Structure 1
Amino acid sequence: MEYSLEIDGTPETVPGGTGILLLHPSTGETDRMDTDFLKTDTDRFFVVSTRTTAREVKQKLEYYDVDESRAEILDTLSIERGYSRRTSDHVHYVAAPDDVDGIVEQVRRFLERHDGKLRISFDSVTELAYYAGEEDALEATERLLTLLAEHDAIGLFHLSEEVHDADVVDDFRSLFDGIVDLDEDGNVTATF
C-alpha cells in the first residue's frame, strides 16, 4: 500500500511500513507538519501524546481542520497529573508517560482494530525519553516501527535535536526510513 505525503521535500508517496523521524528545534512549529501528515490519504489515525493532554490534541486537530472522526488519541499525561478524564472509543489512557509497554500495546490494539490506510503520530519521542529514559524510548520506537511494518501503516515520530546528545540522535536516525529536518526558521530538508 502506498501513502501520499504532504510534507515539503519528501517523496510524493511512501510504502506502508515507513517510519519518518521529524527532527526539530525544541521551539519548532511542528503542529502544522503533524496535522498535514495526519489528514492526507488516511482512513484512521492514532496520536500518541506524551507532550500534551487529549483535550489539547483535540484542539490542535480542530484548529488545523483535521477530520476528528478518523482520530484516536492516547493521552499519557492526564492520569499521572490527576486531571479528569473520560475514556471513549476515541480517547485512551495509560497510567503515566513512562509506561512504555502500555503505549506500545495501545498502538498495537489500534492497528489490529482498523483496516485501510493507518497513520501514527508520536508526539514526542523526546518527552518519552525524558520520562522513561533514552534507552527505553529507543527500544519503544523500534517496537512501534515493527508494528507499522506488520500492519502496513506509516508513522511520524517527533524528536527534538537540541535536547539529546548527537550520538543519541544518530541512534534514532538509524531506525528510520525517512528523516525530515525542520530548522529554527521553518525550513524543511528531507532524506529518504
Structure 2
Amino acid sequence: MEYSLEIDGTPETVPGGTSVLLLHPSTGETDRIDTDFLKTDTDSFLVVSTRTTAREVRQKLEYYDVDESRAEILDTLSIERGYSRRSSANVHYVSAPDNLDAIVEHVEGFLEAHDGKLRVSFDSITELAYYAGEEPTLEATKRILELLEAHDAVGLFHLSDEVHDERVVDDFRALFDGVIDLHEDDTVDVEF
C-alpha cells in the first residue's frame, strides 16, 4: 500500500510501514506538518499525545481543518494531572505518560481494529522520554515502529533535538525511514 505525503521536500508517496521522525526546535511550529501528515490519504488515524490533552488535540485538528471523524486520540496526560475527562468512542486515556506498555498496547489495538490507510502521530517522544526515561522510550518506540510495519501503516514521531544530547538524537534517528528536520525559521531539511 502506498501513502501520499504532502509535506515540503518529502517523497510524494511512501510505502506502508514507513516511519518518519520530525526533529524540531523546542519552540518549533510542528502543528502544520503534523496536520498535513494526518489529513492526506487517510482512512483512520491515531494521535498519541504525551504533550497536550485530548481537548487541545481536538482544537488543533479543528483549526487545521482535519476530519475529526477519522481521528482517535490517546491522551496520556489528563488522568495524571487530575483533569476532568470524558471518554468517547474516539478519545481514550492511559493512567500516565510513563505507562509505556499501555501506550504500545493501545497503538496495537487501534491498528488491529481499523482497516484501510492508517496513520499514527506521536507527539512527542521527547515528552515520553521525560517521564519514562530515554532507554525505555527508545524500546517502546521500536515496538511501535514494528507494529506500523506489521499493519502496513505509517507514522510521524516528534522529537525536540534541543532537549536530548546528540547521541540520543542519533539513536532515535537511526530507527526511522525518513527524517524531517524543522528549523527555527520554519524551513525544513528532509532525508529519506
Both structures adopt the same fold (TM-score exceeding 0.5):
yes
Structure 2 CA distance for aligned equivalents of residues 14 and 6 of structure 1: 11
State the partner residue of 1:77: 77
State the partner residue of 2:132: 132
Structure 1 CA distance for aligned equivalents of residues 88 and 79 of structure 2: 15
Structure 1 CA distance for aligned equivalents of residues 39 and 13 of structure 2: 14
Q: Which runs of 5+ in 1 are unaligned?
A: none
Equivalent runs, 1:47-62 vs 2, <5 Å: 47-62=47-62
Equivalent runs, 1:1-192 vs 2, <5 Å: 1-192=1-192
Query: Which residue identity does 2:102 align to in structure 1?
Result: G
Please say which of residues 81-90 and 117-126 is displaced more in the overlay. 81-90
Structure 1 CA distance for aligned equivalents of residues 74 and 20 of structure 2: 19
Shift of 1:87: 1.3
Shift of 1:89: 1.1
Shift of 1:144: 0.4
Deviations for 1:79-108, whole angstroms, at most 9, x for unmatched residues? 001111111110000000000000000000
Structure 1 CA distance for aligned equivalents of residues 173 and 78 of structure 2: 30
Shift of 1:21: 0.2
RMSD across aligned positions (CA): 0.4
C-alpha contact 1:62 1:68 (8 A) present in aligned 2:
yes
Count matched residues: 192
C-alpha contact 1:8 1:189 (8 A) present in aligned 2:
no
For normalisation by structure 1, the TM-score amounts to: 0.99
Structure 2 CA distance for aligned equivalents of residues 161 and 106 of structure 1: 26
Local SS of the residue matching 2:162: helix
Deviations for 1:92-133, whole angstroms, at most 9, x for unmatched residues? 000000000000000000000000000000000000000000
Greater than 6 Å deviation, 4+ residue runs: none
Of all paired residues, the percent bearing the same amino acid is 80
Structure 2 CA distance for aligned equivalents of residues 86 and 23 of structure 1: 32
